[in-house]
Amino acid sequence: MSKQDIFKQIKPEIKKVFGSSSRLVSKLRSICSILIDNIDYCDWAGFYILEEGMLHLGPFVGNETEHSVIEIGRGICGQVADRKETLIIDDVTKEDNYLSCSIKVKSEIVVPVIVDGKIFGVIDIDSHQKSAFSLEDKAFLECVAKHISSAVEYKES
């Protein structure tokens, strides 16, 4: 099945999550589960939420990580929060500013979630495969980020 087919298949599930009355944390956790359950190269999916000037680990699915708080600008997640633009990392071993969560992780995509022009947090997806993520993943996850943006109200931190 192609990436486009996978994304087409899970899009209704994601829309259903945002149509529910559950709390944002539950919605984010559901999104992580949908990604992990349906995308075979997705081995860790989570959110880091900006609180008090730092990214704090939010809902995630996958192995525990020691990186529960990340400074803006540090690591791939911190860079995305700083720049407010998606980064696709084909080979994490070639990144000087990469924060390793697991030796199994080979590639990563991080997408900013922007609310009212300000960073709310980031979607972080890791893969045990090199070069797992493409522009198709970027477009799909940026669409998910827009859904999240419309579901939250920005709170100054």
**Cβ(141)–Cβ(111) below 8 Å:** yes
The highest-confidence range among 4-8, 64-68, 95-99, 152-156, by mean pLDDT, is 4-8
Per-residue pLDDT of 38-90, as tens digits, reads 999 999 999 999 999 999 999 999 999 888 999 999 999 999 999 999 999 99
Residue 95: φ, ψ to 5°: -100, 125
Closest among 103, 53, 107, 51 to 76, alpha carbons compared: 107
Closest among 74, 78, 145, 134 to 109, alpha carbons compared: 134
Question: Is 3.30.450.40 the CATH number for 3-151?
Answer: yes
Over 90: is that where the pLDDT of 104 sits?
A: no
- Range of weakest confidence among 17-21, 66-70, 115-119, 126-130: 17-21
**Cβ(116)–Cβ(152) below 8 Å:** no
Which pLDDT score is estimated for 100?
Answer: 67
State percent of the chain over pLDDT 90. 80
What token pair was written down for 13?
Answer: 């599930």
Provide the residue ranges of all domains of the chain, joining segments of one domain with +. 3-151
Which pLDDT score is estimated for 96?
Answer: 76
Which pLDDT score is estimated for 153?
Answer: 58
Closest among 31, 135, 129, 51 to 87, alpha carbons compared: 135
Separation CA 78–CA 107 (nearest Å): 16
Between residues 113 and 150, which one has the greater pLDDT? 113
Over 25-52, what HEC string results? HHHHHHHHHHHHHHCCCCCEEEEEEEEC
